[in-house]
Amino acid sequence: MTAFRSHGFCFRCDAIEYLADLTDMEEIFLEETTLKTIPEPFTNLPRLSRIYIANSVPSPAHVVHSFQNVCLPESLGRLTSLTELIITNAQLHGRLLTCIGFLSNLKILNLSKNKLYGRIPKSVGSLKNLIHLNLERNELSGAIPRSITSLSNLQILNLGHNKLSGAIPSSIGNLEHLEKL
């Protein structure tokens, strides 16, 4: 199996472990599930190129698993084949980790409509293949890192509805492919 798609699935730990054993897995699409983040076992899937988690729903009271209400795992940086990381409206919380910069093949990073807080890490500037960066509707704070201006392929940048402060780096105007800010 190279792709797993689910709509309205209530995850248990044994299901997560089963999927994590499928080393040929390339795509995971989860919508309206109880899963709110990338479980640690998924970061051992060497061919994983697309992750889509959206519209997480509360778990029923009788379902308890250790993946609920956690932030992105530090081991996320091991997913070097990842080209799309989309976790939107999933109640994801915590800081955006520096390890995000290790995802060198990433083209789309969309972590919108979550509960991420803290600063945008400078390591985001290492994502040279990135064309779409959407971190809107979180609780991110601090200044926009200048490293974002080194994303020469960036076409879409959405940082709206956060608690960002300071001026927008003027060199963002030098991003020749930027279509939407």
pLDDT in single tens digits along all 181 residues of the chain: 677 666 555 555 455 666 667 788 898 887 876 655 677 777 888 899 998 888 765 554 444 443 444 468 888 899 999 999 999 988 788 888 888 999 999 999 999 999 999 999 999 999 999 999 999 999 999 999 999 999 999 999 999 999 999 999 999 989 999 999 8
Beta-carbon count within 10 A of 61 CB: 6
pTM score of the predicted model: 0.86
The alpha carbon dihedral of 30, 32, 34, 36 has a sign of positive
Distances in whole angstroms, Cα of residue 173 to Cα of each of 46, 148, 177: 36, 11, 10
Of 11, 14, 87, 83, the C-alpha closest to 54 is 87
Backbone φ and ψ for 18, nearest 5 degrees, come out as -65, -50
List CB contacts of 21: < 8 A, sequence separation 6 or more: none
Distance CA 99, CA 126 (A): 10
